[in-house]
Amino acid sequence: MTETMKIVIAVGCVFASGFILVGLSKQESPAKAEAASMIRNYAAIQTMANEKCPLAIKKATGEQVYFPSETQSDKENYITLKWKGENSDKGGFKAASCTLLSSLGGISELIIDNKVIIKK
């Protein structure tokens, strides 16, 4: 065997061992996969609520809301966003609450000034 052939075989072995190490290190434990899944689910619920709730409140009241004053969630099944009205002295709403269920995939309850607008 020539010196060149030995170098080619050594480089091939280095590449093979590198592929094996990368393949073994990429496997996640079930606990890490579950935790990542829960985080993705919570982010999806929160994103959906931040998109749908302000639109529903604007449709019902005519007022645009931006940032909720309070958020409640079990981080798996539901999220409830609450707003305090900024223009209640000028005829706007005083308080709004919007609950989104992940199993429903949309708004399950919208309450504005203790009046139920949506209930599913």
Residue 80 — φ and ψ, nearest 5°?
-120, 120
DSSP bridge partners of 1: none
Burial class of residue 112 (count of CB atoms within 10 Å of its CB; 0-12, 13-18, 19+):
buried
For residue 43, pLDDT over 90 is answered with: yes
Domain boundaries, the chain: 50-120
pLDDT digits (tens, 9 = 90+) for 109-118: 999 999 999 9
pLDDT digits (tens, 9 = 90+) for 63-120: 999 999 999 999 889 999 999 988 877 878 999 999 999 888 899 999 999 999 999 9
Q: Mapped to the 3 state alphabet, what secondary structure does 44-77 carry? A: HHHHHHHHHHHHHHHHHHCCCCCCCCEEEECCCC
Question: Measuring CA to CA, how many Å separate 119 from each of 33, 34, 57?
Answer: 34, 31, 14
The rounded mean pLDDT for the chain is: 89
Of residues 108, 114, 78, 79, the one with CA closest to residue 96: 114
For residue 25, pLDDT over 80 is answered with: no
